[in-house]
Every structure is written in C-alpha cells, then in structure tokens.
Structure 1
C-alpha cells in the first residue's frame, strides 16, 4: 500500500525533476528555481528557494554523499550548490551555451556529465570544475544520461530513442538504435551493472501496464534486488529487470501528468512531481524494514526495529545493552547469542532461525533465475503456475490479476484463465537451495 503523507505546493510552474539525499529532498521547476526540504518533517530549508538559473531548470541531482546539489537549465549551465548553505559554489557553462536537459555525477564525484539539446555532452572534472571535453554523441537532443557504478562508463539516451554506451574518453562502446520508438526519457544503471570486454544490451522484459508515455523512473540502490519505480502512465521498454511498484491509486487525485519520480535512499519514501505544480511525498507501507537496507548497513536502531517486526520485542533490551548493529547481527551464532543474556534456549533458537531467514532473503539476488518471481525478482516462497506456463510468487501474480491485468506479465498475451496451480516441485527445489546456503 502506498499513501500520500504530504503535498508540497511551493513551485509556480510545472515540476521537472526531484531528487533525494539521505536527509534532503530537492525539486526543480520550469519556474527557474530549486526548492530544498528537510526529510525529517518536509519543511522547506531557510535558504530555499535557490535562484540562479535564467531559464527553467530541467534536472537536479545530489552527490552520493549528499553534500552537493547539481542543477542544469535551458540557460546552458550546470550550477553546483552546497547542500548545507544553499550557496552556488560553481557555475559550469556548456561551451556553446546550448540548453542542457540532463546532468549526472559519477558515484565517486570525480566527473560531471551534462546532455544538451544539440546532441552533445559536456564532461567536466568535478573536483577542479574544468571542462575535459565536449563531444557530439547524437543527432538529437540528449535527454537522459547516467554513470555506471564504477564511474568509468556512462550511457546516453536521446529523443530519437537511441541508447549508447561510452567510456569516459567519450569513445562509443555500443549503440542500441531505436531502443524506444518514441524517444528515451530517462535511464539509470542497476547497482550490479558491470561492463566487461564485450559491450551489448539485451532486452530482458517489456512492461505494458501504462497507457501513455512514461516520463520518469528511479532506481533504489539500497535494495538488494534493485528496486525501480515506473511512473506517469506509459508503456516503454527497459533494459533491466525491474520490481514495479504500482502507485496509480495514490496518484488518482492528480489531474496532470506526473513528470518526475524519486526514491529515498534511506526511507520508504517516494517523491513525485507533476505538471500541476505540486510534489507528492508518498509512503510505501509494503516495503518491510528488513528489506530496505542490506544487513551490513543496519544501525542499532534498524536492528531493534527488525526485532519488533519479527515478534522478538523482548530481545530489544538485550540488543540495546550490547550495542548490536547490522554486521554484528549477521555474525550471531549459538554461543554469541547466549552471551547476550538470552536465557531461553527456545528464544535463542527462534532468533537464529529469523537471522538465517533474513540472510537468505537478502541473498535472493544470487539465487538461480528460475527461483525468482518474474514480477518482483525476489526469491519465491509460494510459487504457482499461471495460464501462460510461467511460475510466479502467488501474492504477486494475484495482485497483478486483481489490478485488471488480464495479460501475461511475461508475454503480454491474454491469460486464458486466472486459475493458478501450485508448483510444488519448484518450491521443493527452492527449499533445498536455501538449505544449502
């Protein structure tokens, strides 16, 4: 279930982009401004709005650490803002002063990339703010770009629908012509994205749930099965396997297109911006706390929340007294659990079973592909066979069918029946695999 927790109405023109850092939400608009909010209570920061662009702002991005906020505009510039003070620390101008539609910062903040309406990209060395090169990469406007997690490659997308893979010297490694028939609107790399000696793109799945152009989506890099949200009512192809979160029910009050969407890296929040000039902040109630971050990233508070979710509230005091965080939780065994002062053997055993189950869930992305539900890309617990011959997690395919999707998630062909048959042999195989881990 997804519900709206607040609506922000400060912009005076349609929203172009929104982005989260661990503690802030930034939005930008055709009204030439950026606005920055504290995610503790979604109050606007004292230095907001940020005014420095001469024309509409098309894209905003935080650095991975959250200390820098970037924005690009029709005025042909990228402005680097301090997230702490709101001060413009640098203004980087496209050499031809061509309108910029999109910008991206390498994960290690070494390089800054911006795509322009004349089909060029400008690449800067970010620490020194010096231009490395400006190169033509397309015959059409560059409206999408992203870096690989290693920062040594980047992808561009244009209004002609082409996707291209480049190295940081702007040498073309691979081109996927007409990847989208009506143009690429956004792109993002998965956390496990790797580039080897051969370069190719393989279409893994096509989603057809939307009824109008898809304008934005986002990738949640903190989820162990990478977690993307497709927004704004459309049908496009994606060169990645995705976990789709349906939020149309929460967005029904909107009367204009949703133009941008962002997922918080630290909380189960979704921000959407619309042509109606508003930003909705949504809460995803369905994402359990134990699946928001890898155990290795959990704080002591995260561990205590997980204990409560698993019905182990009585252990919270023991864990709090011993300052158990995520890494320590994952290393617990019979001996160390006893040292925590948990006298009940049964309670200790239940705790260890819960930990093993958690570790198994979070290693689900390493499971054989046939053990993963095609809809959620998560390890199946109750696999069933649908009329299309494919196996799905029961809850996922039932939700798919309830949502009036009477077509196969895999083939897009009509399902002749909604009857689901338990796949007991697959369930046994998954159980054996989990036991071996």
Structure 2
C-alpha cells in the first residue's frame, strides 16, 4: 500500500517543555511520553476529538540534569527515563510514582535505555561505553559490560528478546546474546558479532524490525489437540481441522467444563467455539479490529466471555449466538477474565493492575480494586469450590476465591463475599504467594475443590501451591519462559506451555492426588445422609472398612435416600449379601441411621436444651458428629480438625502451641454421651 505524504499535516503542537525535546515514545494505546533538557518527563493522553492532553501527575520530576531518553515498557505499565545526571528512573505509569532509581556505573551520563520484551530486564548505556544490565524484578545490577570504545548512543532488543543490538560513536554495531548478559556465572561476556565502520561519524540511532518470521517464531496460528493414554503415550488428534481458522497467533484456548466444546481466540480479533465431537464451528463472534486475549466458558456452558485490547468485555449467548451484554471495562487493555462458579458474576483484569467485578445480568460494575498488582495483571481464575474457605461463616453471603498473577512476580488469592440481596461485595487479599523470579504469566486452580493452584512465569518455572497453607509444594523447571499452565480433571497431570514451542507434561506426585481424595471424604460429611449420591455411599463404606461390598453397592446405584427409606431385608436381598456381609452392613447402617436421626433432632432443638458445653467443637461451635482427640488432649469435630491441618496450621486451636504430630483418635466415650443426651431428650 502506497502512502501519500502530500496529505501529511500537523495535528497538534505540544509546547509545555521549556527546552529542547530529546526523546519521545508511544505506547500501544496512543499514550505519548516526552523527555527534555528542561529535566522533566511529560506524559500525554490522546483524547478523541481534542488531541493530546497532559496527565494530572505530569510532569515527572526527579532528574537533576537533562533527560536523554524515555522508554515505555512493552506492556505500557512502566516508564524508564535516563539522564545526564547518571541515573535511570523507573516510573509507575498508572500513578506517576517512582518505582526505583538505577545509578549508572561510575555515575556517567546515561544516553539510552531499553526494556526486554518481557519487561524483566532493563539495559542502560553511558558515555564511557558501559552497558549496565538491570534486573527489573529485584531492582538489582546483573552485569556491567565495558567492551565498547566509544559512547553507546542506541540500543534495541530483537522481538523475541534473544539478542541485544548496540550502536556507538566509533561507528560499531554489536550484537549480544541476552542469556549471556544475564548469566552471572560467567565473568566475561563478549558480543556474538560486530560490524565495524557501519556509519561514518558514528551511530546515533538503530532499531530492529518488530516482525521476524511470524509463522516460525511468534506463532504458527495452529490449535493442536493431544490424547494422553494410561501408559503415558501421547497421540496428536487429527480429526479436528483447526489449522485454517485464525489468521494471526492464537492467544488462548479453553475447554468447556464437560469437554464437549473448545473456544479459541486470536490476535486477529476472532473467537470461535468448536464442537469437539464433529470438529465443526458452533459459533464465531463478530471480528474485532483488535486482539482478543482471553475467552472463558460459563459453568453451565451457555455463555462465553471475550476480552482484549479494545478495553471491553463481551458476554455471548452460545445457544442463540447473540450478545448478552457488553461493558466498557477498563481504560487499558484487558488481559484476562473469568466467571464465578455459579455464573452470577464475572471478573476482568487489565494491564494497569485493576480488578473489576461485574453483575452478568445487568452489566454493572459492583467492585473495583485499583492497585491489585504493580505493573499489571496477566491472568485470573476463579476456584470452582463454592465454599473456598470452610472456616469462614457465610452470613447469608456467597463466598468465592479468585487467583490473579502479574508482572510483580506475585500470585494473589482474593476472598470475595457477595450478597445478592444488597448487591454488596467485600474483597480481601487472603494470601500472597511469593517465589517466582519473573513476570507470572498464568495461574490456574485445580478442578472441583481447588486445593491447589499452579502458576507459570518468565523465570522458566512452573510452581504448584497449596491454597490453604500458601506454601509452594512443587517447583518444576523448564528450558524456556512458561506462558501457560493447567491441571487435568483429576490433578494427576500438570501441563505447561513454553515460549520455545514446547509442551511439558508432568505427572504429579501420588500424595497430592491422595490429598484431593481425602478432601472428598471430608466433603461428604457436610451433607445430610439423605443428600448422598452413590459415590458418597461408597465413600462411607470405605471409611467403615467395608471395601468388600463396594462392587455390589455400586452396581445397585445406592444413594442416601435408599439407605434411609428401604427396609433392611430388601437392601440385603437386592444387593445379594451373604449372612456375614448382611451382619456387617446392618451394624454400620444402624449406627449411621441413629447418628443421623439424633443429630438432625439435636441440631434443631439444641437452642431449646441446656446442651453441655463439651458437646460443641471448639472450632465450629457446633455439636460434634465425629469427636476426635488430638495431640493437645482436646476434642474436636473430625472434619473441622482435618480442615485445620489442611490449611497448613499445625498448632493447637485451643493453646496455639505447636503440635508434635497431626494424629488423632475417636472419642467414643464422648460420642456415646452425646447420643444418650439427645435420646433422653427426644
């Protein structure tokens, strides 16, 4: 396409600086920054219809002498400004506040500064030819290279941040391997290649094309599906032809909860919902002019959210293929979104570090957290568990647990309490997970009970965290930046995708899946027996030591309702129990029925009776069903103390002293007292 330069005209002149403008830079959302010899940095926002207007916190004051270079980070969250005073200041673009001041080696004048593509490295260069490589995350100097003979006046990273190019006043261009610059185990670092006499009289500026073999390096635009067999063999599925769907890199893929649908979204502004059985398109959203960065299914699989660079969130009806609601969500690019597990609310996050909660039906914003993460949020995910913290009383509110991750190297867990009646929301930063040494790109909960959370980062690590203790229980190292991660349905596998086009599949330690099974056993005790399904009945039999009866009970599809209402003889005959099996089953069934009747009556009438204080659990303050004695000598409800230990606390709930172990035994004497008390008061 030819450009007619005869039509080029001046749109606006900005005259706020009082001396020569030495540097300027744009961000993707048209924000303009300028630096000047008047020692100031100014930030300008583009206002449609009126032009550029200076931000409220501008100008940025912090340099003692002329500003030589200004550069925005690739995500637009940070700004670096260099000066003749020998410093480079890192600024928060959202608030205008200083993040850190980097002082050049020997205090020499800094001529240029550049961010790496993932914003984790900042390189500055000075009059004496020294290159300083800075760790932006830890605000520390990684390496100083003094190989240049003249003043380095220009720097540029390649789009994949593998190489750094420098140009200096003695006419030389040098190419550096970034991994070598960042490797502190080697004392010396030499350029990979050098070009002499590149320009007469020196090099003032250079840049690298942002497009390098897009098909081969940035993305192949493909969506690939794999099947994992029990013997650990992996086959690529070829019956779905998704390779001609998107014209630019695919940014996110998401299965529906049942696995019957797949959603894909892309830099080309499209999002597509696929039928996993036929491989055909179910729904393709109208193409957006800007990238769609995330797409998520609702739990009931009737809705899809899409968010992206146009700063809006869209909720689509998959069945009718129509738009339900669109919200102008943020003033910056949206990076991720998610539904609550009951599909009542949705969350959006963006590059300026904001979290917003929305009522899906009305499209109204019901909560905003302005500074959730410094330097922007990359991903978010809701726990599927509708009771994410069993030790928190609901008080008529629905509780949710949200995970977010960002460029500040942190993963944060947020407890959200929502009252539908008053449309009120309270949000608390419940835990902050610290351990990554780079931008955290993705965070996902384990399915169903969500006791685990995984996160991948630019430090080439995939980490597995315990939600309840907040501790990191697995660190999995990769050869490249980890860009995405997720668990399979039963948490036996964990997948991590990397920038170098590799997919890593990890088999998780068996003790983790045992813990998940253990949580399932705890969960069934929260239900009345009449609400049990067949799986709950099988769990009860296993806990009672009657594993030999599992196959017979499973084939009959026995549930809690049948247990309580069918006659004993009918159950024995239908299940084909022999005499010994019938005696064992009858003994446990009688105990179960008596406990259920007693406790249902007891809970309903406990306020009318003078119930002894020792019958109540010190943790839940409810009458105990399964009293157990712990190492501290006190008695607790079994479910409550199990959850206490699972939350990572190994101190006594009564004395707060560290327990020697997490063992306990049943307090049968107290249980008999409780049963007798309520039987006598029936």
Superposition TM-score tier, normalisation by shorter sequence: 0.5 to 0.7
Select 1:57's aligned residue among 292, 309, 321. Answer: 292
Give the deviation of 1:197 after TM superposition: 12
**Distance in 2 of aligned mates of 1:120 and 1:126:** 18
Q: Which residue of 1 aligns with 2:339?
A: 105
Q: Which residue of 2 aligns with 1:218?
A: 444
Are the counterparts in 2 of residues 35 and 44 from structure 1 also a CA contact under 8 Å? no
The residue correspondences of 1:332-343 to structure 2 (distance < 5 A) are: 338=572, 340-343=575-578
Give the deviation of 1:324 after TM superposition: 0.8
**Distance in 2 of aligned mates of 1:264 and 1:78:** 27
Q: Which residue of 2 aligns with 1:116?
A: 350
Q: Which residue of 1 aligns with 2:97?
A: none
1:241 to 2:466 alignment = no
Are the counterparts in 1 of residues 314 and 325 from structure 2 also a CA contact under 8 Å? yes
**Distance in 1 of aligned mates of 2:494 and 2:346:** 25
1:46 to 2:274 alignment = no
Q: Which residue of 1 aligns with 2:257?
A: 21
- Higher fraction of strand: 2
Give the deviation of 1:152 after TM superposition: 7.3
**Distance in 2 of aligned mates of 1:198 and 1:93:** 22
> CA 1:95 to 1:113, structure 2 compared with 1: closer, same or farther past 3 Å?
closer
1:257 to 2:257 alignment = no
Are the counterparts in 2 of residues 211 and 235 from structure 1 also a CA contact under 8 Å? no
> CA 1:434 to 1:114, structure 2 compared with 1: closer, same or farther past 3 Å?
farther
Are the counterparts in 1 of residues 302 and 319 from structure 2 also a CA contact under 8 Å? yes
**Distance in 2 of aligned mates of 1:214 and 1:331:** 53
| Alignment coverage as a number of residue pairs | 349
Q: Secondary structure at the match of 1:222?
A: coil
The residue correspondences of 1:124-163 to structure 2 (distance < 5 A) are: 124-128=358-362, 130-132=363-365, 137-138=370-371, 141-143=376-378, 149=386, 150=397, 159=406
Are the counterparts in 1 of residues 405 and 440 from structure 2 also a CA contact under 8 Å? no
Q: Which residue of 2 aligns with 1:66?
A: 301
**Distance in 2 of aligned mates of 1:302 and 1:4:** 33
RMSD, matched Cα: 5.8
**Distance in 2 of aligned mates of 1:222 and 1:153:** 13
Are the counterparts in 1 of residues 379 and 405 from structure 2 also a CA contact under 8 Å? yes
Give the deviation of 1:90 after TM superposition: 3.8
Q: Which residue of 1 aligns with 2:451?
A: 227
**Distance in 1 of aligned mates of 2:353 and 2:410:** 13
Give the deviation of 1:70 after TM superposition: 1.6
Q: Which residue of 2 aligns with 1:349?
A: 584
The residue correspondences of 1:19-418 to structure 2 (distance < 5 A) are: 20-24=256-260, 26=262, 28=264, 30-32=266-268, 34=271, 45-47=279-281, 50=284, 52-83=287-318, 87-90=321-324, 92-94=326-328, 98-120=332-354, 123-128=357-362, 130-132=363-365, 137-138=370-371, 141-143=376-378, 149=386, 150=397, 159=406, 182-184=408-410, 187=413, 189=415, 201=429, 208=435, 214-220=440-446, 222-223=448-449, 226-232=450-456, 233=461, 240-241=468-469, 246=474, 248=476, 255-263=479-487, 272-276=496-500, 286=510, 287=513, 291=518, 293=520, 294-295=523-524, 300=534, 312=547, 315-321=550-556, 323-325=557-559, 338=572, 340-346=575-581, 349=584, 366-367=640-641, 371-372=645-646, 374=648
Q: Which residue of 2 aligns with 1:417?
A: none
Give the deviation of 1:54 after TM superposition: 3.8
Are the counterparts in 2 of residues 269 and 281 from structure 1 also a CA contact under 8 Å? yes
Are the counterparts in 2 of residues 259 and 274 from structure 1 also a CA contact under 8 Å? yes
**Distance in 2 of aligned mates of 1:264 and 1:29:** 21
Q: Secondary structure at the match of 2:280?
A: coil
Q: Which residue of 1 aligns with 2:117?
A: none
What residue ranges of structure 2 are gaps of 5+ in the alignment?
1-229, 387-396, 418-423, 593-624, 629-636, 651-656, 672-682
Q: Secondary structure at the match of 1:22?
A: coil
Are the counterparts in 2 of residues 15 and 259 from structure 1 also a CA contact under 8 Å? no
Query: 1:123-157 CA distances to partner (integer Å, 9 max, x unpaired)?
Result: 543124x3447967238535455679555788696
> CA 1:104 to 1:30, structure 2 compared with 1: closer, same or farther past 3 Å?
same
Give the deviation of 1:278 after TM superposition: 7.0
Query: 1:11-70 CA distances to partner (integer Å, 9 max, x unpaired)?
Result: 7746546465133464645545556577xxx66742168454444433333223232222
**Distance in 1 of aligned mates of 2:503 and 2:323:** 27
Which structure: larger Rg?
2
**Distance in 1 of aligned mates of 2:258 and 2:570:** 33
